[in-house]
Structure 1
Amino acid sequence: MGILRKTIFTGLLGTSTACAYLASRNPVISPLSPSDPIWSSRLYKNHNPNRNPATQDVCIKRIPVSKIRPELLQSNGALALEFCRGVWSGYGLAVQRKYLAWKWRGPETENQLWEQEDFATSNYDKGTQLMNHFEVVEKTPTSITVRCGDSPHNRALRPSDGLFTISATVDKVRGEVELSLRSCLFSSEGKVEGIRGPMPPHIEELHQWYARLWSETGSWKLLK
């Protein structure tokens, strides 16, 4: 079934039908609500101390609980972890994985995650580094957050910085699993004036389409 799903999706990719499907099944909300918990979080305050403007959005996908692998609903933290594994090892990130491996993989980064199998099986504990561009900075039973924008070796404030949170929760009232990819991207170095985040509009739109693709293909790992 997984092979069939990928074959159909590959055939649709790049067509208006695929875009309509991604948009309807993986809607993006931007900007984030002023009450979104990220704004009051320790992570955001530490990594963006000057409160510089951010490119901000959340991609949400809902799946009926009946379609989810039962064992993922029985263990605390299993659902978010498996969705995280699906996002990083999934078809939607295949090109980026190859590009970052070509650009950054070497003896000094061999302790990081690079192979698809490693992305699919990692526990994503705090401190895990991915492709010399991401590092897990927080892990809870319902979410895993990575710092992005530069090499994990750069611990300082950066011209390119951000937080990317992968979440999965069960909505018992609706009988659904809610999956979300939350992006908050900013320059943490110095003080930036204005209200716009670092991405120009056309790059921000492309980022949101990528988020939809990551959400869709990442969710496949949760299905029966």
Structure 2
Amino acid sequence: MGVVRSTILTGVAGVSTIAAYLASRNPVVTPLASDDPVWKSKVYKRQNPSRNPATQDICTKRLPISMIKPELLKKDGDLVQEFCRGVWGGLGYAIQRKYLEHKYRGPDTAHQLWTLEQLRSSNYEKGTQITDHFEVLEKTLTSIIVRAGDTPRKQGLRPSDGLFVISATVDKVHDEVELSVKSVFFSSEGKIAGKKGNMPRWVEELHQWYSRILNETGSWRLLK
């Protein structure tokens, strides 16, 4: 019994240590600032025409430039592209990828990204569809905006909709790279009253931990 108790306590301590690390190295801020660029973006205005209330947050991670593969810093756009590859092709997305593959991969979705090789080599250009649940709507030199919430085969307004903004920028003043996963989830269908998104609080908290995991494991792709 003592061995079992020790094993359980060791496991709990390990989980607590990982959670503490993720929280400290990948802090989440919610809600987004009222002047956040996403609110004025053409993508958001198009996807949420009624400006329905949104569940919103941003998870940020900062790394010293000295830890980043130097070849990713030579050409603008390479850093965020590689970070995006890390997010979708990394350990953090593995379980969801397997679940979606089991449920939705088939002839109708053969053009989408499914395998680790595809996810880790794609350039994530506009129109790229990921595991029948995400679609790239915009790509810039510092960010890739991905639509979420439902299958990309449903192109119209949806009761469950949203955006991921995956970003990577270089802070030359502090010699750091800033990585972020910004989330805005809403219903784009109809008009909804209120100021808060309709995601239950416990689901919102789980999502924030998931964002931390995606940000953390995505960053591994950039390290020397």
TM-score range, shorter chain: over 0.9
Scaled by the length of structure 1, what TM-score is found?
0.93
Deviation at 1:63, TM superposition (A): 0.2
Deviation at 1:182, TM superposition (A): 0.4
**Residue 144 in 1 paired to residue 136 in 2?**
no
Counterparts of 1:104-143 in structure 2 under 5 Å? 104-143=104-143
SS at match of 2:203: helix
Q: What corresponds to 1:3 in structure 2?
A: none
Unaligned runs of 5+ in 1: 1-10
Q: Equivalents in 1 of 2:140, 2:47: separation in Å?
A: 19
Residue pair 1:12, 1:18 contacting (<8 A) in 2 also = no
**Residue 42 in 1 paired to residue 26 in 2?**
no
Task: Report which of the two structures shows the higher radius of gyration computed on alpha carbons.
Answer: 2
Letter in structure 1 aligned against 2:160: S
Cα root mean square deviation, aligned: 1.3
Deviation at 1:133, TM superposition (A): 0.7
Q: What corresponds to 1:194 in structure 2?
A: 194
Unaligned runs of 5+ in 2: 1-10
Deviation per CA, 1:9-52: give whole Å up to 9, x if none: xx899710000000000000000000100001101110001100
Letter in structure 2 aligned against 1:199: M
Q: Provide closer, same or farther for how the CA distance between residues 110 and 14 of structure 1 changes in structure 2, counting only shifts above 3 A.
A: farther
Counterparts of 1:151-190 in structure 2 under 5 Å? 151-190=151-190
Deviation per CA, 1:73-116: give whole Å up to 9, x if none: 00110000000000000000100000010111111101100001
SS at match of 2:32: coil
Letter in structure 2 aligned against 1:100: L
SS at match of 1:195: coil
Query: Following TM superposition, where does structure 1 have runs of at least 4 consecutive aligned residues deviating by more than 4 angstroms?
Result: 11-14
SS at match of 1:170: strand
Letter in structure 2 aligned against 1:89: G
Deviation per CA, 1:185-215: give whole Å up to 9, x if none: 0000000111221210000000000000000
Q: What corresponds to 2:83 in structure 1?
A: 83
Q: Equivalents in 2 of 1:140, 1:219: separation in Å?
A: 19
Q: Equivalents in 1 of 2:117, 2:13: separation in Å?
A: 24
Q: Provide closer, same or farther for how the CA distance between residues 176 and 17 of structure 1 changes in structure 2, counting only shifts above 3 A.
A: same
Letter in structure 2 aligned against 1:57: D
Q: Provide closer, same or farther for how the CA distance between residues 161 and 172 of structure 1 changes in structure 2, counting only shifts above 3 A.
A: same
**Residue 23 in 1 paired to residue 14 in 2?**
no
Q: Equivalents in 2 of 1:12, 1:181: separation in Å?
A: 27
Deviation at 1:141, TM superposition (A): 0.6
Q: Equivalents in 1 of 2:82, 2:12: separation in Å?
A: 25
Identity of aligned residues (%): 64
Q: Equivalents in 2 of 1:106, 1:37: separation in Å?
A: 37
Scaled by the length of structure 2, what TM-score is found?
0.93
Residue pair 1:148, 1:164 contacting (<8 A) in 2 also = yes
Letter in structure 1 aligned against 2:199: M
Letter in structure 2 aligned against 1:80: V
Deviation at 1:151, TM superposition (A): 1.1
